[in-house]
C-alpha cells in the first residue's frame, strides 16, 4: 500500500523490478511510460523478499502472477483485495463501513506521507504525478480531516459574553502604560536606567 502505485504499475511489475537488500525499492513504469523508483519500507521489503523466494520466477516473469502464470489483471487485484477486506471486516470494526479499492490504497499512501510532513514535491515524485498541483488535492483533503477532528472535540466550557478583567489586572496594565522605562548610554558604554516620572 505505501508504494502508492497505480494498479497498472503493480500488475506490470516483474521479478527483476524489485531490488532487495539495503535501499530496497521497486522499479515501475507509470503513466506516459515514465520510469521511476519507489522506496520500500523494511516490512514491505521483507514480505516481498519472502514472496519472491517462494515465487521462484525468472527475472522477466510477472512479480504477481495469476493462476495461469500470466500477469495479474486489474480485476484480479480487485478480487484479492475484496477477499482480504472481507476478512478484515470480521475482526476490525473500523473497516466495516469503509470503501476499500486499489485506488483508495493509493490515496491512503499519499495522505500518510502528507500527514507525516513529507513535502508535496516529494509526494508528487513518489506517486508519479506530472505536476505538484495534482498533489495539492491531498493538502485540501488533509485540511478537511483536521477540521472534522476539531469539530468532534468537546468545546471549552467558557461562559459567553465579554471578558471583564479583575481590578488587580487592570491596575497592573494601567501601571504599564504610565511608567515608561528608558535607557541611556553613558560615555563609558554603560547602560543606566532612567526612572519614570509618574
- The continuous run of DSSP H or E covering 184 comes out as strand 182-185
Residue pLDDT, tens place only, 13-43: 888 888 887 888 888 876 667 777 888 888 8
Domains of the chain: 7-142 (1.10.443.10)
- pTM (2 decimals)? 0.57
Give the helix ranges, DSSP H, for the chain.
Answer: 7-11, 42-55, 74-91, 93-96, 102-115, 120-127, 132-152, 167-178
**pLDDT value at residue 155:** 66
Amino acid at each position: 500500500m505505501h508504494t502508492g502505485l497505480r494498479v497498472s504499475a503493480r500488475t506490470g511489475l516483474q521479478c527483476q523490478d524489485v531490488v532487495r537488500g539495503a535501499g530496497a525499492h521497486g522499479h515501475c513504469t507509470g503513466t506516459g511510460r515514465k520510469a521511476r523508483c519507489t522506496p520500500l519500507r523494511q516490512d514491505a521489503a521483507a514480505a516481498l523478499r519472502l514472496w519472491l523466494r517462494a515465487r521462484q520466477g525468472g527475472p522477466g516473469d510477472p512479480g504477481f502472477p495469476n493462476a495461469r502464470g500470466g500477469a495479474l489483471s486489474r480485476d484480479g487485484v480487485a478480487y484479492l483485495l475484496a477477499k482480504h477486506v472481507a476478512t478484515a471486516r470480521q475482526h476490525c470494526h473500523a473497516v466495516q463501513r469503509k470503501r476499500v479499492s486499489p485506488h483508495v490504497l493509493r490515496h491512503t499512501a499519499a495522505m500518510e506521507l502528507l500527514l507525516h510532513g513529507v513535502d508535496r514535491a516529494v509526494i508528487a515524485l513518489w506517486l508519479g504525478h506530472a505536476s505538484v498541483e495534482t498533489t495539492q488535492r491531498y493538502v485540501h483533503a488533509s485540511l478537511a480531516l483536521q477540521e472534522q477532528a476539531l469539530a468532534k472535540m468537546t468545546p471549552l466550557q467558557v461562559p459567553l459574553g465579554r471578558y471583564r478583567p479583575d481590578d488587580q489586572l487592570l491596575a497592573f496594565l494601567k501601571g504599564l502604560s504610565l511608567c515608561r522605562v528608558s535607557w541611556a548610554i553613558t560615555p563609558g558604554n554603560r547602560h543606566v536606567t532612567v526612572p519614570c516620572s509618574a
